[in-house]
Amino acid sequence: MAQPANPVSNLTSTYTKVVEQTAEYWIDAAQRSALYLDTMRKRGNIYIEHALQGKPALLKFEHELLIDGTTLERPCNYSLLRILPGKQSAPVLDQRPVVIVDPRAGHGPGIGGFKPDSQVGMALRAGHPVYFVTFSPEPVEGQLLADVARAEAHFIEEVQRRHPKSGKPAVIGNCQAGWAVAALASLCPDIMGPIVLNGAPLSYWAGSAKQNPMRYSGGVLGGSWMAAFASDMGAGRFDGAHLVKNFEAGNPANTYWSKDYNLYSKIDTEEARFLDFERWWGGHFRMTGEEIEGIVNNLFVGNKLARGEIVRGDHRLDLRNITSPVVVFASWGDAITPPQQALNWIIDVWGDEKAIIAAGRTIVYMLHEGIGHLGIFVGGGVARKEHDQILNTMEQIERLPPGLYEMVIVDKTGTERYADLEHGDYTVRFDLRKTDDILALDPDGRADEAIFSTIAKVSELNEAFYKSYCRPFVQAMISKPVAESMAAMSQERLQRLMFSDVNPFMNAVKYWANLARANRKPVSKDNYLLTQEHRTSEQIEHALTAYGHSRDDATVKWVEFLYGPLGLGAVFPPDEPTEVTARAGAIADVEEARRQVAPLLHDGGFPEALARILIGTITARGSVERRSGHIGKLVRSYIKEHRKQVAPLIGAEPIDWPAVIKAQARIMMLEPQQAVDAIPSLIPRQAQRELAVVIAAKVLMLEPELGDPDSKSARRVYEFLGVDFNAAAEKLRAATARSTRPRTGRAA
């Protein structure tokens, strides 16, 4: 029989376990505290070391300086670096060069090459020559945004000069650098290949109150005069620490608790990653007053880029002038640049997807489900998936018919036909989209953007008042030594200095940390006090998150009340939405384009007919597979190899397929029915029609569908062109076999 439980023994055992776990926890907590403080000491030392080194770009790759922007005719603090390839990443000679531009938004350069799995790393692995646009901590005296643009144009031209046979450089702009690249591409459209805009805000008034309340911050204190005041307090320099502080204020839970607790709770494994990130996060860079005022007035508050209201010299920045394919990468988890801010410029600039097609432009966007703003640039998983696939689809994107597309990346299942033609573990497709699809991304609509037009008008008055009546007094009081002293005593800098070896008390922390490492005893995961610690941490995080939401809601309500129709909006009514003007302009553009293509409906021959078949099928399916681009290469190789056999059908002259596709896409999208009806007249011979159908089926991977005589597609092809796909494919195979059969007899 089982012995009855002994209550005294059980109580003693429970008491002993509680005492042991309590002792275990507090020993571990003391050790973690010492190690945490020591990590803060190391962070402070790294901050000082980085500053003494001149805050160089934090790239994990060897590089060399090619052009120093301070030596240019209009000097600036930007420079061009060439990334030196490693032993396993030698560039392919004919690969397109890639230029990566990092943002100057408070921090220094380096996030594009922050780790091996980064934009730089993926580009090197893909065989591209890689160049990096960097900048120094202090701007050149009198530096303007226009000077930076001239320097970047010079850099890109130098890269193109170094690779004359590799195509125009692809340019990747991260965050602030994204809108700078877009603006430069509109001014100098002939120097760039595809451009990639990662987390780049181009429509600053767009978004939603819940997802990105930061856009309301400009209206809280009356607009852009604060930027002028901040630069005056810096004696003509705007301290990037202000931008960093604003960024941190957006997420109080992470800033005031989660980031530090994550380090404290994982101190044995998290230190290296934390210090690596903090080296960049604590490196604050400055702008001239003219630069920050131009950015705030024209972009953040004025939203003039998408509206085409920025003028530089004799040129107006019109994003319609961008001729390069544009790839936009945004994320739903990004509270700084949500998808609406990254994409709504397409509506404001073009009005309608048909206007994009009529102008012969290609725009591709891709949306991530949840990565945050910084994760877009520094996330290893994002680099291995999204950035890797973008880099490896640039040639396909450049060959896409003009239009608006969404790039979709999915895991390979192993059942895809021609799966071996696609790079990596993913398959990519480009889904045709309309501007209405972008509008649908904002469930609240765009009516809430009207209030920001009123804010912009009030901002102009407030800034004029400040510059006329307040600036002279502020500038008279703030000299450069005073400004430097205030900057040095800022919270962001002072906390790093106080926790560094400059503080003699940190010697004791170093001693305690060494003692803790020598006697480290991590607490067991089932310790009841550790469980309570995690619960307490979650409660603190939830409380700070709730505070942040309450603060943001109050800010939104205050701004809406102050600048709404019952407030200043009654005195400064908002302008007509840019979207309305853009749509009206799009209608006129499309009608004019239709008049232009009408005489071209029956012009051409085999290439034009094949292009129309391909584009018509793509439109009907609503998607383009990346594999089709690779198959298209194989088809072009086949045509080249059998030139003598196919020349009578397709013509003897070399065919510029990208130009043909672009021209026929314009015709097909503007006059779809008439363009399709004209196809038989372009290829009157039966052999031409059979070859066109077989090639189109191969490129679009339609062989199984067309090979089934009972399928709807097979019947449509037969009725329209009188072509039996199976018979046509067999004829082509037989002709190929005859042309490649070795000769015999005397001729041999």
pLDDT, average across residues 487-507: 92
pLDDT for 560: 93
Per-residue DSSP letter, 91: P
How does residue 579 score in pLDDT terms, banded at 50, 70 and 90?
confident
C-alpha distances (whole Å) from 2 to each of 7, 8, 10, 11, 281 are 15, 17, 16, 19, 64
Q: In terms of Cα–Cα distance, which of 105, 96, 102, 121 is closest to 57?
A: 102
Q: What are phi and psi for residue 355, nearest 5 degrees?
A: -70, -35
pLDDT for 6: 66
Q: What is the DSSP track for 15-41?
A: HHHHHHHHHHHHHHHHHHHHHHHHHHH
Q: What is the DSSP track for 677-731?
A: HTHHHHS-SHHHHHHHHHHHHHHTT-HHHHH-TTSHHHHHHHHHH---HHHHHHH
pLDDT for 321: 94
What is the share, in percent, of the chain residues with pLDDT greater than 70? 92
Residues of 167-177 as b/e, b for ≥16 C-beta within 10 angstroms? bbbbbbbbbbb
User: What is the tens place of the pLDDT at every residue in 638-682?
Assistant: 677 666 667 677 776 777 878 888 889 889 988 999 999 999 999
pLDDT for 745: 42
Q: What are phi and psi for residue 198, nearest 5 degrees?
A: -100, 120
Q: With contact defined as beta carbons under 8 Å apart, do 33 and 265 qualify?
A: no
Q: With contact defined as beta carbons under 8 Å apart, do 558 and 220 qualify?
A: yes
Q: Is the pLDDT of residue 105 over 80?
A: yes
Please state whether the predicted TM-score (pTM) of the whole model is above 0.75.
yes
Q: In terms of Cα–Cα distance, which of 570, 573, 347 is closest to 453?
A: 573
Q: Which residues contact 189 (CB under 8 A, 6 or more apart)?
A: 321, 322, 323, 324
How does residue 124 score in pLDDT terms, banded at 50, 70 and 90?
very high
Region of poorest pLDDT, from 591-605, 615-629, 632-646: 632-646
pLDDT for 655: 78
Q: With contact defined as beta carbons under 8 Å apart, do 198 and 329 qualify?
A: yes
pLDDT for 739: 53
Per-residue DSSP letter, 260: H
- Distance CA(444)–CA(450), nearest Å, equals 13
- Distance CA(343)–CA(206), nearest Å, equals 9
Count CB-CB contacts under 10 A for residue 565: 13
User: What is the tens place of the pLDDT at every residue in 459-495?
Assistant: 999 999 999 999 999 999 999 999 999 998 888 899 9
User: What is the tens place of the pLDDT at every residue in 267-306?
Assistant: 999 999 999 999 999 989 999 999 999 999 998 898 999 8
Structure tokens at 274: 């934390």
Region of poorest pLDDT, from 660-664, 684-688, 698-702: 698-702
pLDDT for 431: 94
C-alpha distances (whole Å) from 697 to each of 120, 315, 333, 706, 717 are 37, 46, 40, 7, 11
Locate all alpha helices (DSSP H) within 163-175, ordered by sequence.
none
pLDDT for 4: 61
How does residue 747 score in pLDDT terms, banded at 50, 70 and 90?
very low
Q: Considering the chain, what is the average pLDDT of its residues?
A: 89
How does residue 8 score in pLDDT terms, banded at 50, 70 and 90?
low
Q: With contact defined as beta carbons under 8 Å apart, do 144 and 69 qualify?
A: no
User: What is the tens place of the pLDDT at every residue in 305-336?
Assistant: 988 888 877 778 899 999 999 999 999 999 88
Positive or negative: CA dihedral 481, 484, 490, 496: negative
Structure tokens at 13: 């055992």
Structure tokens at 440: 């649908």
Structure tokens at 530: 């550790």
pLDDT for 418: 65
List the domains of the chain with CATH numbers.
63-217+302-446 (3.40.50.1820), 601-743 (no CATH)
What Rg value do the Cα atoms of the chain yield, rounded?
31
Measured torsion, CA atoms of residues 81, 488, 337, 258, in degrees rounded to the nearest 10? 110
Q: Is the pLDDT of residue 55 over 60?
A: yes
pLDDT for 419: 67
SS3 524: coil
